Amino acid sequence: ASQCLYSPPARNLGPRPLRGRRTLPTSRPRCRSGQVLFNTCVCASVYMLDATFSDLEPLPQDDGPVPVVRIAYPDGFEEVMSYFRRVVVTGECSQRTLQLSAEVIAHNAANYTAWQYRRRCLEAMHSGSSNAAREQAWREELAFCTARGRENLKNYQVWFHRRSCLARLGSGPEAELEFVAEILRDDSKNYHAWGHRQWVLSSCGGWDGEAAFVEGLLEEDARNNSAWNQRYFLLQHTADLSSLSVAEGEVDFAARYIAAAPGNPSPWNYLRGVVEPLGYSAVPRVRLLCEGLLAGDAASGAGRVAAMSLLVDVLDEGGDPAEQERARSLCDSLEDLDSLREAYWQWRRSRVGAQQPTSPYAQ
């Protein structure tokens, strides 16, 4: 048998005894939360866990009798999780279990069970409290979520927990929309932040200033697909997308960005999304936009491809044989201009006049 050229230092990979209140380690593991937990100004150590949960037997993780590949958990993780498993089993909802869940989250902010347990604890602990006390508890929880969220901006569990806090507080949209705007100023395409912003708008209102907010982002980056999507989301909830006047206004809006950067696919895709359900023949401005760009020198490269590809759909939709023949001719040209998608344009040419979906995936 061949031998490995590299031999790592020998390590004991067998099951390790749980470092609990029966066998204490010689050094204190450092926790990562940086919060005031377990009535101390430093993070929880195994000693604090032992003292706080002296009445509970830790429940270690069951990796089987002979683990194949043992995970090298950081210091303190196993102890925290072993106590957390135990309180989940017992169902205890108290201040100490709430603090323990914070410790779990400090080790792993994606632990959805810990977030869910926090909600469960808060509901149980304040079921008989006054409205003011209950509101204060959830405001403190929102502050905790904000602190953890800034460190985990692309974590589903943090954003979902935030929604739960806001739903219980019943606050207005202004402060939360500003919070999301702050996040988007640093990362304007953060999917989680955009989804949360849509939830806030749908649940709490605040639509009036959204158009200006989105347009401001587009002025900074016209290729921000998330901002274009948000504008369409805004129209879905505040305008009649079946209205020709609305469609024409949005064509003019998109045309402004197309004129500035014809090769930018974002406004072209937005234009299609707004007009296609109505039919291109209902909004002649679309054809005029494409023809105007192709007649001049403004569109070249990607911009010319975008104008020609949209014009193919416009010409095909009308059903006129002469215009459909021109659409086929455009497909022939696009095979050369857009050679990466040569096979698509061959397929698209074969579908001209067939009254079929213009995408091979729209079946």
* Residue 154: active-site member: yes
CB 138 within 8 Å of CB 118 = no
Alpha-carbon Rg of the chain, whole angstroms? 29
Task: Tell me the HSE value of 127 on the side-chain side, using a 13 A CA sphere.
Answer: 8
CA separation for the pair 287, 266 (Å, rounded):
18
CA separation for the pair 180, 198 (Å, rounded):
10
CA separation for the pair 99, 94 (Å, rounded):
9
**What is the amino acid identity at position 26?**
T
DSSP 125-151: HTTTS-HHHHHHHHHHHHHHHHHHHHH
**What is the amino acid identity at position 167?**
A
- Of 78, 83, 86, 75, give the one whose Cα is nearest residue 38: 83
CB 298 within 8 Å of CB 255 = no
CA separation for the pair 25, 124 (Å, rounded):
35
Query: Annotated catalytic residue: which of 16, 154, 185, 237?
Result: 154
Q: What is the set of active-site residues? A: 154
